[in-house]
């Protein structure tokens, strides 16, 4: 009896996974409605809504953990694990039915766990980081709504629900990037992020419409079947995949729509950490992974006898482009932002070459170490450099003063670079290895170069932040023992930070502006947890140790079978294959460290100012600083080139053509009116009215004698007409 029950029910947590997005959704409403309410002069919610957000995330995390555990039970000993699908009708119109529901499989469970976990930590971190902010309640409301949106998308049962979650995330991203909108740059960044992503979202709608037109369904599961059906035409798959992939490019910051992501760092650091590195930006990658059969078959393009997947091309370009840009950034968060773009490129490339499991696993590991890196940067800015993110001006030499931040930063950096035995190694190296193994030789080289560049720019960022001579605000922090609060520190503070209200608030626990040691506990604890996971999360799928747990949990979500006709079998791990990337990481570290010491460490060096003296290097540097002139291309060439002439032409058309037409219509209308009055109204209509009266009177006069009142005459008429009718009948029938 028990066994029978187990077959029917996948377990309470899996059956009720739809609660996971619902709880933060309700919490959002509670925060926004009651966050600032006061009863008898006391706050209804003592932490102004933050506790509601945090509690909802903890509740969602609990259910997600339960669901993850039950998923491992659910697929235990099963060859093809069935997803747990539920659906309710949202609304119905004609034959069209929109459902809301859940599609819980390995991929969804992994993402649910990831999002709830990171959201919880980031909310804890935010308690300290945005304390005293003027829009504290709204910050937590948006953060909670974001989690609800992402979770809705992750367990979406159909495309409409997926779009719903996708757009909620876009909205929250806009709200949170522009959280400090008093500075115009922040407001601009928010608008830019929103509009750039919108460009992609059009593709999302078009792609969904194409698939609905061709497959007649929104259900993700049925779309899998449709894409796997050999009778489905390649053309329709191609166009659906292209349209959807545009949305993925926009959301996941892939080339050429990556320009919004670094600007999005204008938001508070916890936001960058949660939305713009670990969770929201992987939504595009998630979509590709979710509808993998569509993309796998749709974007497979045959050029010159060599068939390859377009996703891999975009991913490969993105890796190199973004990594190049990371070298010239002075803002620590922008380095991390470009690093995120580059890592998203790895995920896309992995999906493109057919390495589905390593790519999805990279989402998992990347979330932990990248979130940790951002929170470290926030910790440094919060405590060490006083809200400046400028590595060259306000950082340096912080390793000694902030040991916990430094240690977690180093661990996460090692994971990001793919140093062996850290989590990034097991996922990123697997992608590179798979690219080589699945006949994507060029992309393996791209991945290796990317690994080299990653190590190099992270070494540069680490060196500038934590080593060398303390500069600017950091100098005050580091030498705080000797100089208590210096006056010019206030000046520095005002210069660097006009939006944060921390300094005005002495009840911070520590004598601000410069705390003498590492960040407070609410910041440090999430760092430690994430740093720990940056090491151990890789061991869920560590190929060198023959651990394939994650692969086992996830493989039923691919939608394609592994082997002939599906995606290729993963390669067996060999240390020999991993050697090139390990060596390149070591080389990147060594080269970058030597250069940094020369350029930033010494007072004078032949390398210093090289970009100013050497015109070729200078041009390259300028090219990078200006972000390959892509922003200029979009704003000056495309926006001005297209939008401005269109606007001018529209104005001209408006003035000349439209106004002319309007005036002509007016004059014409009046003249027509006159003519109509004279001719039609007076003559025709009145004539007709009078005429009908005259005719009626005449007819009456003519017919009057017939009404004689003589019965015999009526009878004669009756019979006469009957006779005529009979005659006609006879003539017609004969």
Tell me the C-alpha distance between 271 and 528, whole Å: 19
Query: What is the number of other CB atoms lying within 10 angstroms of the CB of residue 108?
Result: 28
Of the pair 606, 709, the CB lying nearest another protein is at: 709
CA neighbor of 347 nearest in space, from 368, 316, 373: 316
**Measured from the CB of residue 665, what is the shortest distance to another protein in angstroms?**
55
Of the pair 96, 723, the CB lying nearest another protein is at: 723
CA neighbor of 197 nearest in space, from 251, 149, 265: 251
Helical H runs in 380-482?
A: 391-394, 403-417, 423-437, 441-466, 472-478
Specify burial of residue 357 (Cβ count, 10 A radius: 0-12, 13-18, 19+).
buried
Of the pair 37, 708, the CB lying nearest another protein is at: 708
Of the pair 78, 731, the CB lying nearest another protein is at: 731
Of the pair 663, 707, the CB lying nearest another protein is at: 707
**Measured from the CB of residue 668, what is the shortest distance to another protein in angstroms?**
53
**Measured from the CB of residue 728, what is the shortest distance to another protein in angstroms?**
18
Contact of 537 with 368, CB cutoff 8 Å: yes
**Measured from the CB of residue 680, what is the shortest distance to another protein in angstroms?**
38
Of the pair 615, 709, the CB lying nearest another protein is at: 709
**Measured from the CB of residue 733, what is the shortest distance to another protein in angstroms?**
16
Specify burial of residue 58 (Cβ count, 10 A radius: 0-12, 13-18, 19+).
middle
Q: Quick one: the chain helix, strand, coil %, rounded to 5? A: 75, 5, 20
**Measured from the CB of residue 691, what is the shortest distance to another protein in angstroms?**
24
Of the pair 685, 722, the CB lying nearest another protein is at: 722
Tell me the C-alpha distance between 194 and 176, whole Å: 11
Contacting residues for 712 by C-beta, under 8 A, at least 6 apart:
none
**Measured from the CB of residue 709, what is the shortest distance to another protein in angstroms?**
3
The helix/strand/coil state of 219 is strand
Binding-site ranges for another protein (CB under 8 A): 704, 707-712, 715-716, 719
CA neighbor of 105 nearest in space, from 446, 556, 503: 556
**Measured from the CB of residue 716, what is the shortest distance to another protein in angstroms?**
5
Maximum alpha-carbon separation in the chain: 138
Tell me the C-alpha distance between 380 and 399, whole Å: 10
Of the pair 623, 719, the CB lying nearest another protein is at: 719
**Measured from the CB of residue 689, what is the shortest distance to another protein in angstroms?**
26
CA atoms within 13 A on the CB side of 394: 23
**Measured from the CB of residue 725, what is the shortest distance to another protein in angstroms?**
14
Of the pair 658, 729, the CB lying nearest another protein is at: 729
- For the four alpha carbons of 527, 530, 533 and 535, in that order, the dihedral sign comes to negative
**Measured from the CB of residue 666, what is the shortest distance to another protein in angstroms?**
56
Of the pair 603, 706, the CB lying nearest another protein is at: 706
**Measured from the CB of residue 724, what is the shortest distance to another protein in angstroms?**
14
**b/e burial code for range 468-484 (CB count within 10 A of at least 16 → b):** bebbbbbbbbbebeeee
Q: Is 304 left (phi over 0), alpha (psi -120 to 50) or beta?
A: left
Of the pair 209, 729, the CB lying nearest another protein is at: 729
Give the residue carrying structure tokens 């390259």.
620
Of the pair 6, 727, the CB lying nearest another protein is at: 727
Tell me the C-alpha distance between 103 and 86, whole Å: 7
Of the pair 654, 699, the CB lying nearest another protein is at: 699
Q: Strand 300-303 to strand 306-309: parallel, antiparallel, or no bridges (unpaired)? A: antiparallel
The helix/strand/coil state of 574 is coil
Q: What count of residues does the chain have? A: 734
**Measured from the CB of residue 726, what is the shortest distance to another protein in angstroms?**
11
CA neighbor of 129 nearest in space, from 272, 228, 338: 272
């Amino acid at each position: 009896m028990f066994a029978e029950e187990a077959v029917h029910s996948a377990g309470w947590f899996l059956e009720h996974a739809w609660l996971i997005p619902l709880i933060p959704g309700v919490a959002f409403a509670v925060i926004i409605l009651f966050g600032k309410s006061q009863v008898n002069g006391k706050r209804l919610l003592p932490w102004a809504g933050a506790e509601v957000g945090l509690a909802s995330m903890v509740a969602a995390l609990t259910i997600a953990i339960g669901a993850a555990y039950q998923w491992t039970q659910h697929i235990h000993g099963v060859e093809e694990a069935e997803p747990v699908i539920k659906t309710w009708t949202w609304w119905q119109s004609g034959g069209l039915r929109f459902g809301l529901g859940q599609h819980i499989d390995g991929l969804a469970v992994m993402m649910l766990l990831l999002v709830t976990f990171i959201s919880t930590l980031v909310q804890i971190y935010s308690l300290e980081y945005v304390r005293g902010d003027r829009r504290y309640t709204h910050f937590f409301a948006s953060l909670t709504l974001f989690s609800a949106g992402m979770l809705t998308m992750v367990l979406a049962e159909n495309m409409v629900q997926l779009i719903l979650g996708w757009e909620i995330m876009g909205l929250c991203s806009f709200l949170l990037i522009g959280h400090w909108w008093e500075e115009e740059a922040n407001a601009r960044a928010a608008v830019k992020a929103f509009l750039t992503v919108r460009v992609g979202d059009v593709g999302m709608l078009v792609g969904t419409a194409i698939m609905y037109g061709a497959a007649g369904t929104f259900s993700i599961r049925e779309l899998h079947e449709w894409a796997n059906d050999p009778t489905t035409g390649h053309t329709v798959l191609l166009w659906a995949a292209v349209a959807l992939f545009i949305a993925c490019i926009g959301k996941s910051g892939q080339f050429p729509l990556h320009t919004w992501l670094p600007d999005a760092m204008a938001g508070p650091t916890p936001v960058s950490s949660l939305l713009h590195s670990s969770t929201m930006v992987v939504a595009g990658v998630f979509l590709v992974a979710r509808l993998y059969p569509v993309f796998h078959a749709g974007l497979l393009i045959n050029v010159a006898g060599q068939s390859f997947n377009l996703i891999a091309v975009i991913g490969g370009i993105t890796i190199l482009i973004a990594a190049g840009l990371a070298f010239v950034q002075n803002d620590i968060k922008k380095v991390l932002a470009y690093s995120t773009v580059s890592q998203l490129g790895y995920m896309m490339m992995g999906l493109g070459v057919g390495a589905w499991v390593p790519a999805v696993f990279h989402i998992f590991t990347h979330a932990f170490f990248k979130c940790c890196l951002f929170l470290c940067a926030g910790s440094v800015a919060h405590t060490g450099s006083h809200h400046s993110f400028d590595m060259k001006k306000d950082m340096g030499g912080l390793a000694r003063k902030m040991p916990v931040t430094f240690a977690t930063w180093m661990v996460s950096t090692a994971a990001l670079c793919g140093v062996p035995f850290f989590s990034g190694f097991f996922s990123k190296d697997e992608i590179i290895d798979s690219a080589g193994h699945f006949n994507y030789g060029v992309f393996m080289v791209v991945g290796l170069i990317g690994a080299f560049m990653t190590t190099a720019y992270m070494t540069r960022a680490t060196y500038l932040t934590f080593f060398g001579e303390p500069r600017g605000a950091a100098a005050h922090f580091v030498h705080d023992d000797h100089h208590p609060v210096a006056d010019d520190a206030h000046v520095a503070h005002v210069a660097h930070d006009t939006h944060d209200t921390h300094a005005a608030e002495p009840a911070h626990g520590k004598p601000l502006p410069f705390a003498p040691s590492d960040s407070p506990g609410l910041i440090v604890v999430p760092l430690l947890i994430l740093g720990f996971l940056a090491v151990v999360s890789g061991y869920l799928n560590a190929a060198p140790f023959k651990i394939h747990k994650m692969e086992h949990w996830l493989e039923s979500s691919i939608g394609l079978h592994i082997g002939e006709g599906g995606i290729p079998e993963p390669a067996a791990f060999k240390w020999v294959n991993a050697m090139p990337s390990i060596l390149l990481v070591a080389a990147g570290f060594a080269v970058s460290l030597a250069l940094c010491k020369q350029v930033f460490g010494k007072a004078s060096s032949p390398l210093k100012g090289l970009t100013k003296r050497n015109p070729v290097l200078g041009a390259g540097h300028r090219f990078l600083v200006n972000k390959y002139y892509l922003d200029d291309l979009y704003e000056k060439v495309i926006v001005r080139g297209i939008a401005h002439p269109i606007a001018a032409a529209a104005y001209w058309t408006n003035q000349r053509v439209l106004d002319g037409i309007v005036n002509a219509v007016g004059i014409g209308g009046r003249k027509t009116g006159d003519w109509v009055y004279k001719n039609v109204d007076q003559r025709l209509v009145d004539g007709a009215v009078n005429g009908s009266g005259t005719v009626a009177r005449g007819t009456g006069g003519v017919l009057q004698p017939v009404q004689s009142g003589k019965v015999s005459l009526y009878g004669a008429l009756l019979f006469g007409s009957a006779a005529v009718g009979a005659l006609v009948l006879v003539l017609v029938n004969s």
